Each structure stands twice: as C-alpha cells, then as structure tokens.
Amino acid sequence: MEKILVTGGAGFIGRQVCRELLGRGHEVRVLDNLIEQVHGNGARPADFPDDVELIRGDIRNGHAVERGLKGMDGVIHLAAEVGVGQSMYEVERYTSVNDVGTAVLFERLIAQPVRRVVTASSMSIYGEGLYRDADGNFIQDAERGAIREGQKSWEPTDEAGRPLEPVATPEWKRPSLASIYALNKYVQERTTHIMTAPYGMEGVCLRLFNVYGPGQALSNPYTGVLAIFASRLLNGQKPMIFEDGKQRRDFVHVTDVARAFVDALELPQAAGGTFNIGSGKDRSVTEVAQALAGAMGKNDLEPEVVGKARTGDIRHCFCDTTLAAQKLNFNARQDFSEGLAELAEWVGQQTADDRVGNARAELEARGLVA
C-alpha cells in the first residue's frame, strides 16, 4: 500500500482514478481547485469518494502543492485546463495552469521526491494521426490545405493530390502541435521525463484518446465530445458536428483509463515510458453521435453537420495500443455499446446547461472557425 496524491483528482477521470486506487488498497489525497467551468458551484462532487482527503488548492500555488505532497509515495498528475478550441484564445490561462502548474509541482518534488509520477498527456500532441500513402509509405506529417466552408474534401492528400489512408497512431509518430493545448500537454510530458530521473524518481506519461463515461462535466462545452453531444441531446438539441462528420476517433471508457493509470503507477516495467491509452477501435464522429442519440431514446435528433472546421482540429487520429499491451498489459475491456448505454442512463438523471452555441460563437468571433 502506498500514499498517492492525485492532482485534479476531483475531475471526471480523477474521481475514477481515486476509486481504482482505493480498490487496490492505497491511501489517496487529492489536490483540486474545483473550478466553475468543470464543477459548477465549486462544491465537493457528490460522487467524490468518502475515503479520499481533499485539499482545495491551485496547482500553481507552491504552498498547496507542498501540503499535498507531504508524506506521499507517488503522484498521478491530472490537473489541467482541457480544451483544444478554448486554448486558442485563453492562451495565458492554459499555459499558466498546464505548464507553470506542472513546473511548480516538480519544483516542489525536488524537496519532497516520490517513487513515481504518472502524468496525463493527450492524443492531441500528434496533430493528425499516422497515414499511409498510395505507395504504402507511412506519412507522419500529413497536412490539409486551407479549409473553407463548403469544400468537397476534408481529407489530407499527398503532394500528388492522392488521398492518404489513416492508420492507427503509435507512440513513435512525431508530434505535430496544432493547438496551445497540444503544446501544453507535450510540455507536461517532457517536464515529467526531464525532472524525474535526476532526482531519483520515475516518470510515466499516458497519452489519452477520447475518454467517456458517467461523471463527465456536461455543462462544460470544451470537454469530451460525447459529453458535449449528451448535453445537447438532454436539452432536446441536435448534436453539432464540425466538418462532414466522417472524422475518425478512438473512444475509451473512463474505467479502463483509471486502470491504466494505476497500472502505470505500480508496474516496474512502465518506468520511463510514454504510452497510448485507447480502445484500439476507430469510429466516425457521426456514428458515435447517432449511437448516443439511440441510447438516449433521441433518434429523432439527427446530428447537425455544420460543414465548418475549427482551428487546431485534426481529421483522423486513433490509437495503436500495441506498446501499452506489451508494457502495461493494457487492453480496453469496456464494450462500447454497453458503455454508451451506461452513459445514457446516467445522463438521463442529470441536468445540464447547453453552452455549445456560446462556445461556437466565441470561436467564430475570433476567426477560429472556417
């Protein structure tokens, strides 16, 4: 048994990580700022585990971090501002919380080192996923031309104009940082790996793909796409889909993600690694929106495909899970249809403010939607 600090542990993923840690016999402490965008009134979440000590504090506050680290054996670092679109205009806030906050954590860890730090990263660092061209060559830096409303094709092409085939993205693909959020997460990764070994610690980073499940912040229009769709459907509105809806993603259940975090904390062979965490299965955004509408009994609310793109968005990116299977013994266990049914049941018991229109207006006002 170890004592583990979970930064951002009152959030959607964090609460599930806490439950997984408790289930394996660990003692758990959480440092979380309980910000309004995620937590509404800022109160302790109703489903926050009773056996977890909660310190309300900002990851950038050195004194709060010192208090959180006292007596700890390990850290799972989840505290972050999350949202590709919002990061493109709330640049100072995202960089301050994500990058400076991580710097404060590791500076305090110099005086109070732990055995291992596991940091949450994101598939967003890849930008476009891995592709294969018509000659069978892997393309790591696929790009799309200038995106304009009403264009006929959203797909990346090679220099000859031939379409590229998306394939599962492995960890060796070069980063392509297309948003401030992606840049932040890459800085968090590198900070973790740079700062652990010299101070006698071990570092692990997990690149999360699209995480879903009960407990998501339904009123946060910058959270995961399934939560955004669920909020729209709950309020009798059509899910809003950018581009043509055929972009492909990998959706992984929060319980699988929580298990991956604790395995990354415990398993000796994980030390020093960076791992993709996803289901290994890709689905189009439209397919997912329609499936969720069906699970919620809202089949009449067909997705609204807006035919526009947001700056920082990518076309296709889904998960190659080979390395995580080898080093973490990780394979996603949750069936997607069953997971959607569980999510739909939970959403039906919630209330949510649909703020998606406001978020889109913010992006459009800044020229970030074309």
The Cα 262–Cα 271 span in angstroms is 13
91 is a domain residue: yes
Length of the chain: 370
| Nearest residue to 261 (alpha-carbon basis) of 10, 15, 17, 16 | 17
Chain centre to alpha carbon of residue 218: 15
Q: In what order do the strands lie in the sheet with 131-132?
A: 138-139, 131-132, 165-166
DSSP bridge partners of 205: 119, 274
Residue carrying the six token digits 């000859």:
160
pLDDT of residue 365: 60
The Cα 299–Cα 139 span in angstroms is 38
pLDDT of residue 356: 55
Residue 182, amino acid: A
pLDDT of residue 313: 78
Residue 38 confidence class, pLDDT cut points 50, 70, 90: low
- Write the pLDDT tens digit of every residue in 301-337: 888 888 887 776 789 999 999 999 999 999 999 999 9
The domain that holds 119 is classified in CATH as 3.40.50.720
pLDDT of residue 355: 54
Least confident of 23-37, 250-264, 354-368: 354-368
The Cα 351–Cα 218 span in angstroms is 8
Q: Where are the beta strands (DSSP E) in 146-212?
A: 165-166, 202-208, 210-212
Residue 181: active-site member: yes
- Write the pLDDT tens digit of every residue in 223-252: 678 878 888 888 888 888 888 899 999 999
Could you tell me where the DSSP H helices lie in the chain?
Answer: 12-23, 36-39, 62-69, 84-87, 91-95, 101-111, 180-196, 225-234, 254-266, 285-295, 322-327, 336-347, 356-365
pLDDT of 345 over the 60 cut: yes
74 is a domain residue: yes
The Cα 99–Cα 74 span in angstroms is 20
Q: Which two tokens stand for residue 369?
A: 């939607």
Span 251-260, mean pLDDT?
A: 97
338 is a domain residue: yes
The Cα 278–Cα 335 span in angstroms is 13
**Hey, is 11 helix, strand or coil?**
coil
139 is a domain residue: yes
> Which of these is catalytic: 126, 131, 181, 212?
181
pLDDT of residue 219: 63
- DSSP string for residues in 204-250: EEEEE-EEE-TT--TT-TTS-HHHHHHHHHHTT-PPEE-TTS--EEE
Q: What is the DSSP letter of 96?
A: I
pLDDT of 146 over the 70 cut: no
117 is a domain residue: yes
370 is a domain residue: no
| Nearest residue to 104 (alpha-carbon basis) of 75, 66, 54, 70 | 66
Span 151-168, mean pLDDT?
A: 86
Count CA atoms closer than 13 A to 257's CA, side-chain side: 30
What is the total count of domains within the chain? 1
**Residue 165 structural domain:** 3-365
C-alpha separations of 59 from 44, 103, 217, 264 in Å: 17, 9, 20, 22
DSSP bridge partners of 74: 4, 116
**pTM of the prediction?**
0.92
219 is a domain residue: yes
pLDDT of residue 333: 96
357 is a domain residue: yes
DSSP bridge partners of 210: 251
Count CA atoms closer than 13 A to 259's CA, side-chain side: 16
H-helix or E-strand containing 329? none
Question: Is the sign of the CA dihedral 144, 146, 149, 150 positive or negative?
Answer: negative
